[in-house]
Chain A
Amino acid sequence: MTENHHGKGRPAKAAPSFLSLEEAEVDISDIRWVDVPVLLIFWVLMAVVFLQFFTRYVLNDSLGWTEEIARFLLILVGFIGAITATRKGSHIFLEFFYRFIPAKFGKLLAVFAEAITLTFYSIGAWVTVELAQKTKQSMISIDVPKSLIYWAVAVSFSAMALYSLTWLIRKIRQDSSQVVAELEEHAISE
């Protein structure tokens, strides 16, 4: 049978060629020692949820404490992970406005936005310390004070504030075109 037996439509190659993937070298150069705590917490979270899954399906007897611990660890992954996101400037923000304004004004705006962000992280750290001091309950399934979560969040906010400060200084020092170029970079790196 000829390749044209379907009628019109020009035939491509005789048989579809199978694609194979070329392995790219894995780059981990952006991972720092400060990321180690959140990596460990993340893996413990994975392990705890696996354990719950396993006990429910295989042993038919789910462990009660796993759910509360898992939620607790998720909060930690969220807030401590946010430190890494702040360090790398990968928090989600809208950058479209910067396309329509001159670079010079863009830099001014970016510095202003970073200053606001820094302010929020600082207030966040402050208020969470207060919250931690006022929290007296303990967690239900294990004997760990609930305030521990708030302390961890307070530390996270402080670290975010520090990284935000370094970003602020960096943006002030950079010239306008660099600042805007980095924002563009952020837009496509998601």
Chain B
Amino acid sequence: MSILLLFALLFGLLVIGVPVAVSLGLSSLVFIVTNGMPSLIVLHNMVNGVNSFPLIAIPFFILAGHLMNTAGITTKIFNFARAMVGWMHGGLGHVNVGASVVFAGMSGAAVADAGGLGNIEIKAMRDAGYDTDFSVGITAASSTIGPIIPPSLPLVIYGVVSDTSIGQLFAAGLIPGLLMAFSLMIMVGWYAKRRNYPRDDRFRFSIFWRALIDATLPLMTPIIIVGGIVTGIFTPTEAAVAAVAYSMFLGLVVYRTLNWKSMLRVSMDTIEMTASILMIVAASAIFGWILTANQVANEFAGLLLGFTENKIAILLIITLLVLVIGCFMETIAAITILVPVLLPVAVQIGIDPVHFGIILILNLMLGLLTPPVGMVLFVLSKVSDVPFERCVVATAPFLIPLVAVLLLLTFVPAFSMWLPTLVYR
């Protein structure tokens, strides 16, 4: 069986709704067996594909996110962001972005952001008289900041699959995440002026102070995680452990919102999500092994370099390719399939794997905002009772600033690389 058939089988299985992990595992199995190799290789690779210490960060970050949501911390963060930027034109739009930035420093998944904060944000914006489309659009767009600012599940997976330092990747994501927030705030400001959106009363220090006091303990979480990782005090796994310990302290001791029942609930949810991610990582280990053993990346590079040798053109082709694939494929699956093919090409034209990771993940995040497989849109459609199709249309304008940031990050490596080279020398 040829590599082309392997891909055809994989996509065939994916399209008819076979679980991603099974599609990867089964197509690899068929390839291995038809090429006369023992099937033991498949299972050996699968099991050892998750035998990796950095992956332990995954359940911890997921657990920390769940604990934060349960402890009612999201509301405090929203209130804090509101006291800080609510007075601006289109105040709640800015609040939406600001809260997502803070939440991004605690959670590693865009979907968690949309599901937890999104609910509060859309409700508050509707109550204040914003039109639904704007509310849904900005909520969807701002939730993609989550996996760019550390911690980030997609970056952990990328780091493991590409054998890149996750600490460096995390440090690299901070500035790009803030750039995304900045670009979205410009967009909000523009809309607010044109449509004359409401705002809260002028900035009042007393209100800000009250919200700050109320949110101080939760706000320590992003400071511990992001600060710890960016300064190199914590490895990503250690930061994840610290985040869990701290959020359990908040939930059990300070706010007393956690009991055995909710602990059981968050544990089970964490296990389920961890398992479904790890199964994909496991199955992609064998798939990646086949791609590497057959030098698929080399052939792809040859094909691409035969077409053009211009670095910018190649980057644009890769970006376009990832954008299209990101529209159809779930993030984790896309990372595990794309990295073994694309990363060697990127490295060959002189792109740092850390830089490439950031643009790849941001690129895939845009796929969460587009049909047909837009996870963030599915979630928002559910929490806001707005039909999926309308969510798609509402979010589309916000893709403009995000794509602009993507291009900026692609062609100016310094935005991603400055911080990690400063910290990890």
Contacts and interface: CB of A to CB of B under 8 A. Distances in A.
Contact of A82 (B200, B257, B276, B372): B276
Interface string B325-339: 000111011000000
B59 A10 contact: no
Q: Which of A8, A15, A27, A72 has the most CB of B within 10 A?
A: A15
Given A74-B50, A99-B372, A127-B43, A90 B276 contact: yes
B36 interface: no
Given A23-B257, A77-B271, A84-B268, A14 B201 contact: yes
Interface string A127-153: 110110010000000000000011001
Nearest to A157: B43
B147 to A, nearest CB: 15
B179 interface: no
B425 interface: no
Interface in B39-83: 39-40, 42-44, 46-47, 50-53, 55-56, 59-60, 63, 72, 74-75, 78-79, 82-83
B72 to A, nearest CB: 4
Contacts of A112: 16
Interface in A12-47: 12-16, 18-21, 23, 26-28, 30-31, 35, 38-39, 42-43, 45-46
A26 B265 contact: yes
B272 A84 contact: yes
Dominant secondary structure of chain B at its interface with chain A: helix
A7 B264 CA distance: 52
Interface of A: 1, 3, 5-6, 8-16, 18-21, 23, 26-28, 30-31, 35, 38-39, 42-43, 45-46, 49-50, 53, 56-57, 67, 70-72, 74-75, 77-82, 84-85, 88, 90-99, 109-110, 112-113, 116-117, 119-121, 123-124, 127-128, 130-131, 134, 149-150, 153, 183, 187-188, 190
23 contacts: A9-B89, A12-B200, A16-B83, A16-B200, A21-B72, A26-B261, A31-B265, A35-B268, A45-B59, A53-B245, A78-B274, A82-B278, A90-B276, A93-B18, A94-B14, A94-B330, A109-B16, A116-B13, A116-B26, A120-B26, A121-B22, A127-B39, A127-B43
Q: When A and B form their complex, which 7 residue pairs have the shortest distance between CB atoms, in order from nearest?
A: A81-B275, A78-B278, A96-B372, A91-B19, A12-B198, A81-B271, A21-B72
Given A5-B202, A49-B241, A131-B47, 5 more contacts: A39-B271, A91-B22, A121-B22, A127-B39, A150-B47
Interface of B: 13-22, 25-26, 29, 39-40, 42-44, 46-47, 50-53, 55-56, 59-60, 63, 72, 74-75, 78-79, 82-83, 86-87, 89, 91, 111, 120, 124, 128-129, 192, 196-202, 204, 207, 211, 214, 237-238, 241-242, 244-245, 257, 259, 261-262, 264-265, 267-268, 270-272, 274-280, 282, 328-330, 332-333, 371-373, 375, 378-379, 381-382
